[in-house]
Amino acid sequence: MKKWLKFLGIMLLSFVFMAACGNNEEENENSNTTVSTNESSGNDQELAEDEVRLTITIDEGSQYVSEQVVQVEEGDILLDVLKDAFYVEEDSGFITSIERVSDDANEGKYWMYSVNGEAAQVGAGEYELNGGEEIIFDLQTME
């Protein structure tokens, strides 16, 4: 009987330990401050007509911050969708921080974005999404 109780106790402790470790990994995955040096997440899946891929990078893609595929409706405004998907700070319509990575006026680094490889012609608060777009926000030196 003692062996059975000892075995049960060890199994219970093992289960609790594994559950605690699993929760810690989940918290780390949800952290908003992770920046890696990978150029992309490697996610090359096809986009549906009601989806856009939002990718956040630094220095023209030399550092990867985050990426999400988001469902949108035609006419959704890019800045609103970006705010729903990521932690974004702005000042008078200008994006100053995405995922807690801030611009730096002293270094001349600002958030710029492109749609399907083409530089944006309007601010993110004015750009209407159509779906199927690949959008990259990049913190880069403005020339």
DSSP 19: H
Instruction: Calculate mean pLDDT across residues 96-105.
Output: 94
pTM: 0.69
- Residue 16: pLDDT band (50, 70, 90) is very low
Distance in angstroms (rounded) separating the CA atoms of residues 87 and 70: 14
Angle at 31 between CA 50 and CA 131, to 5 degrees: 10
Closest CA to 29 of 66, 64, 61, 54: 66
Distance in angstroms (rounded) separating the CA atoms of residues 140 and 16: 46
- Tally the C-alpha atoms within 13 A of residue 54's C-alpha that lie toward its C-beta: 23
Q: What is the pLDDT of residues 35-94, one digit of tens each?
A: 444 444 445 678 888 899 999 999 999 999 999 999 999 889 999 999 999 999 999 888
Instruction: Calculate mean pLDDT across residues 115-122.
Output: 94
**What is the C-alpha R_g of the chain?**
21
Give the model's pLDDT for residue 6.
Answer: 58
User: What is the fold of 51-141?
Assistant: Ferric Hydroxamate Uptake Protein; Chain A, domain 1 (2.170.130)
Mean pLDDT of the chain: 79
Distance in angstroms (rounded) separating the CA atoms of residues 76 and 83: 12
Give the model's pLDDT for residue 92.
Answer: 85
* 43 vs 127, more confident: 127
Give the model's pLDDT for residue 7.
Answer: 55
Instruction: Calculate mean pLDDT across residues 100-128.
Output: 94
Distance in angstroms (rounded) separating the CA atoms of residues 115 and 76: 15
Instruction: Calculate mean pLDDT across residues 109-114.
Output: 95
